[in-house]
Amino acid sequence: MIRPVRLLILGTGGMANSHAMNFSTISDAQLVAAVDVDLVRVQGFALRHGISNTFTSLDEAIAWGEFDAVANVTPDSIHYPTTLKLLAAGKHVFCEKPLAENYAKADEMATLAGQLGLVNMVNLTYRNVAQVQAARQLVLSGAIGTVRHVEASYLQSWLVSKAWGDWATESQWLWRLSTKHGSNGVLGDVGIHILDFAGYGAATDIDHIFARLKTFEKAPGNRIGEYDLDANDSFTMTAEFANGAMGVIHASRWATGHLNELRLRMHGDKGAIEVFHSLDRSTLRACLGDDVEKAVWKEMEVEPVLTNYQRFVDAVLAGETREPDFRHAANLQRILDLAMESHRERRELAV
């Protein structure tokens, strides 16, 4: 009988609960430890999820060592130093996105993981959406012909709605608005998701981009307590893809009326596909064959897909990294870095 993969959860904030709940449903995974600098928080998290061992430092956990793999759910700026320590200790890593704050660090993480032969994956959560997986297969099959135009959007409204809490009073939101607290704004937070959603769904890479970023006034002097609210709130990007298609990609936290919504439209010379995903539903529509003449769209049924969590556990058991890996996430980070450079220089840049 194969021993379950012994998992440690690093960081016990909000997203860590999702990791713990998902891994706890996998028979080949066992949650054995949790780490957080906040003793009360880590103990509460461990109690809630039935985890036996807790630590207030990663070094203590590594010295203990009774785990095989780690879900790194620390804040963005902490991914780099903690992941390097874990890789050096011979641990497989499932890291939250973005992999790092910039391409140089993400590249170092991907290179080291590859050199050490350790399983490495990034939790690009929208790979879990069966509809985008099915859309990719339709593109690869040639069902819509040559892709000519791509539209992708990620819309959130938490800066104008308290549906997820009061961002102006809660640190879990305020840090996301402050560059000195490690945030690259909406570009860094969800930009990697929508870039992956677009490129993966359209089965092609981005070649050139031109981006604009915008930070809106949110408080007097754009400051609340220790938080300078200077990170970007919205971005727009025009893109040219490796297959020759043109595209527009945008994201905003000011999208009133949209709690958390992704949309991908792909138009080819033989047909078109639209993927819609929100908190409560996902749909895949297509306009194919004879329906193209009259612009008739039909919803398509799709089969469920394995989650990133399951695929990471399977990867560790097999000793073989699966997509999306660190290298893929590093390449996406390069585009995000170039988007910021493109904004500063007001010019198009080649990826």
- Residue 33's φ and ψ, nearest 5 degrees, are -160, 160
For residues 223 and 282, membership in a common domain is answered with yes
Contacts of 295 (CB under 8 A, 6+ apart): 287
Buried/exposed code over 139-177 (b: 16+ C-beta within 10 A; e: otherwise): beeebbeebbebbbbbbbbbbeeeeeeebbeeeebbbbb
Give the pLDDT confidence score for residue 337 in this predicted structure. 95
- For residue 326, CA distances in Å to 119, 133, 167, 232, 336 come to 9, 20, 30, 25, 15
Tens of pLDDT, residue by residue over 42-58, are 999 999 999 999 999 99
Q: Find residue 348's DSSP bridge partners.
A: none
Q: Judge contact between 54 and 81, C-beta under 8 A.
A: no
**Residue 172 near residue 180, CB atoms below 8 Å:** no
pLDDT at 107: 98
Do 33 and 161 share a domain, yes or no? no
Give the up-direction half-sphere exposure of residue 71: CA atoms within 13 A in the CB hemisphere.
31
Is the pLDDT confidence value at 28 over 90?
yes
Spatial separation of the C-alpha atoms in residues 233 and 155, rounded to whole Å? 11
Specify the number of domains making up the chain: 2
* Order of all β-strands in the sheet with 298-299: 298-299, 282-287, 272-277, 260-268, 147-156, 246-252, 234-241, 206-214, 349-350
Residue 2: is its pLDDT beyond 80? no
DSSP annotation of 121 reads: E
- The two beta strands, 227-228 and 223-224, are antiparallel
Coil, helix or strand at residue 44: helix
Helix (H) or strand (E) holding 240: strand 234-241
C-alpha dihedral, 158 to 160 to 165 to 171, nearest 10° = 80
**Cis omega before residue 304 (within 30°)?**
no
pLDDT score recorded for residue 342 = 96
9-28 core/surface letters (b: 16 or more CB in 10 A; e: else): bbbbeebbeebbebbeebee
- 57: CATH: 3.40.50.720
Separation CA 168–CA 225 (nearest Å)? 10
Q: Which of 206, 194, 201 has its CA nearest to residue 244? A: 206
In terms of domains, do 31 and 136 share one? no
Cα-Cα end-to-end distance for the chain: 47
pLDDT band of 13, cuts 50, 70, 90: confident
Here the CATH number for the domain that contains residue 256 is 3.30.360.10
Residue 234 phi, psi dihedral angles, 5° rounding: -145, 150
Model confidence pLDDT, tens digit, residues 324-339: 999 999 999 999 999 9
Evaluate whether residue 39 is within a structural domain. yes
pLDDT(119) > 70: yes
Average pLDDT, the chain: 95
From the list 219, 308, 171, 194, the residue with the least C-alpha distance to 186 is 194
155 shares its domain with 117: no
Residues 104 and 198 in one domain: no
Q: Do residues 274 and 296 both lie within one domain?
A: yes
Mean predicted confidence (pLDDT) in 270-294: 96
Instruction: Report pLDDT digits (tens) over 259-273.
Output: 999 999 999 999 999
Instruction: Give the domain-ending residue among 125, 153, 182.
Output: 125
Determine the structural domain holding residue 69 and report its residue range. Answer: 5-125
* Cis before 81? omega within 30: no
Q: How far is CA 219 from CA 134, 172, 174, 326, in A?
A: 43, 17, 12, 37
Pair 141, 286 in one domain:
yes
pLDDT exceeds cutoff 80 at 157: yes
For residues 68 and 175, membership in a common domain is answered with: no
Give the whole-angstrom CA distance, residue 31 versus residue 120: 18
Q: Among 94, 125, 156, give the residue marking a domain's end.
A: 125
The answer to whether residue 318 sits within a structural domain is no
Say what the pTM is: 0.91
Same structural domain, 34 and 144: no
State percent of the chain over pLDDT 90: 93
Residues 177, 231: Cα–Cα separation, whole Å: 5
- Is the pLDDT at 1 greater than 80? The verdict is no
Q: Are residues 104 and 147 in the same domain?
A: no
